[in-house]
Structure 1
Amino acid sequence: MGVQFEHIDLLYQAFTHSSYVNEHRRKLFTDNERLEFLGDAVLELAVSKYLFQRYSSMSEGEMTKLRAAIVCEPSLVIFANELNFGEYVLLGKGEELTGGRTRPALLADVFESYIGALYLEHGLEAVISFLEKVVYPKVETGAFSHVMDYKSQLQELIQQGNNGSLTYEIVEESGPAHSRTFVSRVLLDGKELGNGHGKSKKEAEQHAAQTAIKEIKQQSKSQEG
């Protein structure tokens, strides 16, 4: 990853599980639990800063939801596996025999402890540079789109190209009062980008924005081709 550690003991600590320490009591090994504590906080700060700066139209609630998806255990396991962190963990024999090297909680902890070590060695900017390679691209390419607001995503796409202003219109309502269906369309300077339906006006607008995003990305791929 191109990261140099002058204090190599920090790196060893980041990858030392408590089971290894327990089996080597005569040696001065330190487990990674304290670094994990620090890394958890640093990771949350770095991701918060990224979301705040990158998605200017996202509400506090939307950013909180997306951050939670990025820093949750399943996501951290994916990041750790892509870096093969599990191969480098120092484990006790018992933990090794029971599959600890691939245990999700252990991998997530190792990823956080590495963040903690990197922060102590090089500071927050180094952590951000690391995350720009490992984590942020996944947000950009839609890995967490299931928790993102499609209207916010569409707004960001349009703002990137300075391509005008978006408006939403409800063009159809149907069904009985207790079970209405709405159809919405989203327009860019009066030109329709997409449409969608839903059980509420907000849901219909979200689906219209989702359709528009797919259309824009398909057009972009066609132009690149």
Structure 2
Amino acid sequence: MPPHPEPDLTELQRNLGHEFSDPSLLRRALAHRSWCAEVGGEESNERLEFLGDAVLGWVIAELAFRQHTDLAEGKLTDLRKSVVNASALAEVAVEIGIGPCLLLGKGESAAGGRSKPSILSDAFEAVLGAVYLDGGAEAAATMVERLFAQRMASAALRLDRLDYKTVLQELTARRFDTAPVYVISDSGPDHEKRFFATVIVAGQTVGKGEGRSKKLAEQAAAEQAWLELSQPVAH
């Protein structure tokens, strides 16, 4: 067996949804610096990683802007961060099979480099950079949208669930020119304490909630209040 066997990239290209006109770009995107140091005369994937990082940021920002028109700038930023981070990118890399195709030095391979989140996430960005160079902006955007649209939708739902206090405050400021007031109580022993929250807007109780912490109780109360106040006003 040769010291550095070449991987078969057919399945990876299928998973990417892009067949390379110049397969050497994909090969370079998978070349870790540890492998390049051992074989000599090969360029690592670091420059492609730089390019792919920029492409990913642009495509995700545009997707977030187009698909989530209800989110304010701060939430768009949170949404982007939730899907563009080393852990999330490593998950995508595993799903499309980048790990087995990596060109790693013997030491890095023996140390489990094919499953290291940092190596996988960097390689994913490099592969995206290679797709961009090989197929252009449309090919890169299509690949990102296919791999990330559902993740972004799920992340947006989580953001909404976790932030009812903010959306309630925005709603009450807009409709009543006031902020919600939270009244907290608790019961039970310290190790099993339950918290209860009542949210009051313009002197009226509009929501109640409970939870294992003050924060959870307030969020539950804010959710109930937001659902109540966001209903159309009957005429």
Verify same fold: TM over 0.5: yes
Q: Rate the CA distance shift 1:125–1:210 in 2: closer, same or farther, 3 A.
A: farther
Q: Rate the CA distance shift 1:63–1:143 in 2: closer, same or farther, 3 A.
A: closer
The residue number in structure 2 matching 1:149 is: 160
SS at match of 2:69: coil
List per-residue Cα deviations over 1:25-73 (Å, max 9, x = no partner): 1xx4211000001111110110000001111121111111110111101
Q: Which amino acid letter does the alignment assign opposite residue 42 of structure 2? A: F
Indicate yes or no: 2:128 matched with 1:115: yes
List per-residue Cα deviations over 1:145-173 (Å, max 9, x = no partner): 44x134999xxxxxxxxxxxxx99x7995
Q: Rate the CA distance shift 1:171–1:36 in 2: closer, same or farther, 3 A.
A: closer
Within 5 Å, give how 1:170-209 maps onto structure 2. Answer: 175=185, 181-183=197-199, 196=209, 203=219, 207-208=223-224
Paired residue for 2:141, among 125, 128, 131? 128
Q: Which amino acid letter does the alignment assign opposite residue 138 of structure 1? A: R
What is the rounded CA distance, in whole Å, between the counterparts of 1:18 and 1:151 in structure 2?
Answer: 40
What is the rounded CA distance, in whole Å, between the counterparts of 2:200 and 2:45 in structure 1?
Answer: 52
The residue number in structure 1 matching 2:23 is: 8
Q: Rate the CA distance shift 1:206–1:68 in 2: closer, same or farther, 3 A.
A: farther
TM-score with structure 2 setting the length: 0.66
Q: Which amino acid letter does the alignment assign opposite residue 3 of structure 1? A: H
Q: Is the 8 A contact 2:199 2:225 kept in 1?
A: no
Instruction: Give how far 1:106 is off.
Output: 0.3
Give the 4+ runs in structure 1 shifted more than 4 A.
Answer: 170-176, 194-202, 209-212
- Aligned residues, how many? 186
What is the rounded CA distance, in whole Å, between the counterparts of 1:80 and 1:35 in structure 2?
Answer: 15
What is the rounded CA distance, in whole Å, between the counterparts of 2:45 and 2:222 in structure 1?
Answer: 43
Q: Is the 8 A contact 1:46 1:124 kept in 2?
A: no
Indicate yes or no: 2:63 matched with 1:50: yes
RMSD: 3.7
Report which of the two structures shows the higher radius of gyration computed on alpha carbons: 2
Q: Is the 8 A contact 2:197 2:221 kept in 1?
A: no
Q: Which runs of 5+ in 1 are unaligned?
A: 154-166, 186-193, 213-225
The residue number in structure 2 matching 1:84 is: 97
SS at match of 1:114: helix
The residue number in structure 1 matching 2:39 is: 24
SS at match of 1:123: helix
What is the rounded CA distance, in whole Å, between the counterparts of 2:126 and 2:67 in structure 1?
Answer: 26
Q: Which amino acid letter does the alignment assign opposite residue 13 of structure 1? A: R
Q: Which runs of 5+ in 2 are unaligned?
A: 1-13, 165-174, 187-194, 202-206, 229-235
TM-score with structure 1 setting the length: 0.69
SS at match of 1:149: helix
What is the rounded CA distance, in whole Å, between the counterparts of 1:98 and 1:210 in structure 2?
Answer: 51
The residue number in structure 1 matching 2:84 is: 71
Indicate yes or no: 2:49 matched with 1:33: no
Identity of aligned residues (%): 34
What is the rounded CA distance, in whole Å, between the counterparts of 1:195 and 1:133 in structure 2?
Answer: 40
